[in-house]
Amino acid sequence: MTNEKTTTVALPDGATLDMAAGSTPLDVASRIGSGLARAALAAEVDGQPYDLGRPLERDSQLRILTSRDPEALGIFRHSTAHLMAQAVQRLWPETKVTIGPVIADGFYYDFDRDPPFTPEDFEAIEAEMAKIAKENLEITREVVSRDEAVALFRELDEPYKIEIIEDLPTDETLTLYRQGEWIDLCRGPHVPATGKLGTFRLLSTAGAYWRGDERNKMLTRIYGTAFFDKAELEQHLERIEAAKTRDHRRLGRELDLFSFHPNAPASPYFHPKGAWIYNRLQSFMRELFATEWPHDEIITPQIYDVELWHRSGHYDNYREHMYFTTADDREMAVKPMNCPASTFVYASRKRSFRDLPIRYTDFGRLHRYEKSGVISGLLRVRTFVQDDAHIFCTPDQIQAEVTSLLGLVEFVLGDVFGFEIAVELSTRPDVYIGTDEVWDRAETVLEQALVDNEREFTISAGEGAFYGPKIDFQATDALGRQWQLATIQLDFNLPERFDLHYTASDGSEERPVVIHRTILGSIERFLGVLIEHYGGAFPTWLAPEQVRIIPVSDQFNDYAESVAAHLRRHEIRVHVDDRREGVGYKVRDAEIQKIPYMVIVGERELGIGHVSVRSHVEGELGSMEIDHFARRIMEEGATPRPGAAS
């Protein structure tokens, strides 16, 4: 019970403490023990992050956060972003500050400075950061009025902060965080003093438009990271270096897979090898949709009257990402998604409950306007194809369909491509279409399907699509990075908006439910992820060139060609390297190109009708009879199937 004298604090172990009114989490930590007080970085009060020095306002559930708590790392990194900004303004006082959030594996801060920052500035900034950390400046929270905040930042000549304040709701509580002479507008919380910081590294710079709008000024974004432990930081930096060697943009050039040109921004040109892999991924999915997970493929138009997009809700909720044109005095839009188109195929004839479920897959090309500040190789492009599908079913069929799709995701992403998979249930966003009742029902159905299928999952609040909740699948690659790939989305709104029906068993007209799903997602993005996951060394079934034959001299070219012809009869993708270069040069080139197998042929191989085989993964395999080698490649090159995935 709270009164003028005490505040009751409930601790994680069930114990309670009566603290004097106005006590802080740090006071509570000190009451528990001096060791905890020294280790404390922040607190969690009634489930929300909280500063150690902020007075408790009521009876509360409280947890002290130390470096052992995952929640503390984000606070630690956010405070390090402030440390970086303070260092920057000490060194270059004319610099204007904007925002500095925490991101996956680190933080960034956007600065307005001319000339922009470069990595050559990092040494000076890091040295100043270390100096400020050594000063052990207290970090304090201040609640201010809107007018006070605007006046302060006007005096400091920080126009970006004033713009942020002016765009906040009038009833928003404004807080400032001060450390020494430096102050920032921030919700917090932060560690109690700069002396708690110190294990950090600045990583890179990038251009970033203010608020992501290319009509605004270009700022300099400095990326950094921080860890509690120096060893963890060093391990992270090693992973970054490993990632650089696997960067799909670099490998795309080196392996001659794709390129970009300014004449088609954020739209890739796929070269022959890249196009082969791209088409192989599509054909692999098509084969699954023709067999184990039956779907019917449809082909739909690219451009539609905008009336369709008004009706679907995309015009109101997605138009900033769409391309528009005019034809026959009508405003038209290029499709950014396939979903509305599938409804017209469904509605082209009368449907009965006996017809359902109907599963339409559509590999139609999509176009979305992505701002230049977010495009990144194949990972964020403006034109792409998805392995998209829309399943029309009765409410009673939802669980069976979701169960089947869960199996499809696990087979493709887990068994075939070797990703570890985590599952998220993404719920209603701030902006959505449809009624709360429909959303509640959809979220309940998806959650129950996951529970019934004994799938572990987390809730990602507010991350659903504007038309329905979804199950998202986070795939962890070979470097431990997570990528959101597959998704299963439940939609009760599309059938309503497009007036879809089926005849129920009692003769009544009912609305179907639509399940949107992709497994690979964007083929372009998936290929970018896959290049980095494999480091460019594709498995034999997906490699555009499976075997490279290297004759030791020109006199063995004919034998090399005969071996190649034999392998091609077994549909093995093979190339003879008959360039007038040394064998060592050709072997190194095959390794750089990450060809799964290279075959050396010379006098000994010709004499016994064998080939000398080297695997990119296993190294030297020795001499093999040609048919034996062909069988090996055929087995490894077979399309993965359930129960026999590679």
- Please compute, for residue 205, the number of CA atoms within 13 A of its CA located in the half-sphere on the CB side: 16
| Residues 39-76: tens digit of each pLDDT | 999 999 999 999 999 999 999 999 999 999 999 999 99
Annotated catalytic sites, by residue? 339, 368, 386, 388, 390, 470, 516
CA distance 551 to 611: 10
User: Residue 548: which region, alpha, beta or left (left: phi > 0; alpha: psi -120 to 50)?
Assistant: beta
Let me know: does 453 contact 405? Beta carbons within 8 Å: no
Instruction: Pick the last residue of a domain from 245, 266, 297.
Output: 245
Q: Within this chain, do residues 18 and 106 fall inside the same structural domain, yes or no?
A: no
CA distance 117 to 122: 9
- Please compute, for residue 523, the number of CA atoms within 13 A of its CA located in the half-sphere on the CB side: 27
User: Residue 619: which region, alpha, beta or left (left: phi > 0; alpha: psi -120 to 50)?
Assistant: left
Residue 284 lies in a domain: yes
Residue 252 lies in a domain: no
Q: Within this chain, do residues 298 and 385 fall inside the same structural domain, yes or no?
A: yes
pLDDT at 91: 97
Count of domains in the chain? Answer: 4
Residue 312 lies in a domain: yes
The CATH number given to whatever domain includes residue 604 is 3.40.50.800
Crossing angle of helices 626-637 and 557-568, in 10° steps, is 40
pLDDT at 632: 96
Q: Within this chain, do residues 60 and 85 fall inside the same structural domain, yes or no?
A: no
Helix (H), strand (E) at residue 313: none
pLDDT at 1: 45
Q: Within this chain, do residues 350 and 410 fall inside the same structural domain, yes or no?
A: yes
The CATH number given to whatever domain includes residue 58 is 3.10.20.30
CA distance 585 to 588: 5
CA distance 25 to 60: 10
Residue 345 lies in a domain: yes
Residue 448 lies in a domain: yes
The CATH number given to whatever domain includes residue 131 is 3.30.980.10
Q: Within this chain, do residues 210 and 262 fall inside the same structural domain, yes or no?
A: no
Residue 250 lies in a domain: no
Residue 79 lies in a domain: yes
DSSP 553: S
* Residue type for position 348: S
Let me know: does 305 contact 335? Beta carbons within 8 Å: no
Let me know: does 45 contact 188? Beta carbons within 8 Å: no
| Residues 512-564: tens digit of each pLDDT | 999 999 999 999 999 999 999 999 999 999 999 999 999 999 999 999 999 99
| Residues 478-489: tens digit of each pLDDT | 888 889 999 999
CA distance 489 to 472: 8
Q: Within this chain, do residues 80 and 61 fall inside the same structural domain, yes or no?
A: no
Q: How many residues does the chain have?
A: 646
Question: Which residues form the domain of 577?
Answer: 547-637
Q: Within this chain, do residues 428 and 295 fall inside the same structural domain, yes or no?
A: yes
Which residues are 64's β-sheet partners? 43
CA distance 470 to 454: 17
Q: Within this chain, do residues 108 and 148 fall inside the same structural domain, yes or no?
A: yes
Q: Within this chain, do residues 29 and 78 fall inside the same structural domain, yes or no?
A: no
Low-confidence ranges of the chain (pLDDT < 70): 1-4, 214, 373, 644-646
| 169-193 exposure pattern, b = at least 16 Cβ within 10 A, e = fewer | eeeeebbbbebeebbbbbebbbbbb
* Residue type for position 421: I
Instruction: Pick the last residue of a domain from 31, 49, 66.
Output: 66
Q: Within this chain, do residues 288 and 150 fall inside the same structural domain, yes or no?
A: no
pTM value is 0.79
- Phi and psi at 508, nearest 5°, equal -80, 160
DSSP 95: P
pLDDT at 4: 60
* Residue type for position 100: G
Residue 433 lies in a domain: yes
Dihedral over Cα of 53, 56, 57, 62: its sign? positive
Distances in Å between the alpha carbon of 519 and those of 50, 330, 379, 387, 492? 39, 35, 16, 7, 21
Q: Within this chain, do residues 99 and 62 fall inside the same structural domain, yes or no?
A: no
Q: Within this chain, do residues 267 and 220 fall inside the same structural domain, yes or no?
A: no
Instruction: Pick the last residue of a domain from 503, 534, 565.
Output: 534
CA distance 586 to 218: 46
